[in-house]
Amino acid sequence: MNRLLPTSYFFGALVLTGLLHFALPLRRLLAFPWRLTGLLPLGAGIALNLLADRAFKNHHTTVKPFEASRSLVTRGVFRISRNPMYLGMTLAVFGIALLLGTATPLLVTVVLAVILDRVFIAPEERMLQSTFGEEFRQYRRQVRRWF
């Protein structure tokens, strides 16, 4: 089955964030210079994705959803979140929404988080449970899904 990758949803969310800001801003929430606070979650989101990607490569396991993992990565950013790449994508979109400063782009952040949770995280965690059993159960008890 040919599924869209999480990056497709991420880039779609970025486009939708911009479109909603310009087409239907509803209400300005933040004025300059407060909008610059969006740089913090944006930077954190980018960093989480880069660090998680490197960790997957260092462990010689796949970064692609729905492919079998060769190892359970539990160190580095995976001590903060079981899903640092999805958290990073969501933080990046949230950061862009803050930089834009209007209300409607913030809705995209929530929708993206729900989609990532339902379409990718839940099935991936079932696969990890099946593959790694007790090791994954223990990791799941120690580390939160998002943060």
DSSP state of 102: B
- pLDDT for 2 equals 53
- Torsion angle of the four alpha carbons 104, 108, 111, 117, in this order, in degrees rounded to the nearest 10: -150
Mean pLDDT across 125-139: 95
Domains defined for the chain, CATH in brackets: 6-142 (1.20.120.1630)
Mean pLDDT across 80-90: 97
How many other C-beta atoms lie within 10 A of the C-beta of residue 106?
19
- pTM metric for this prediction: 0.92
Q: Which of 32, 38, 72 is nearest to 55 (CA)?
A: 72
142 burial via Cβ count (<10 Å: 0-12, 13-18, 19+): exposed
| pLDDT exceeds 90 at position 65 | no
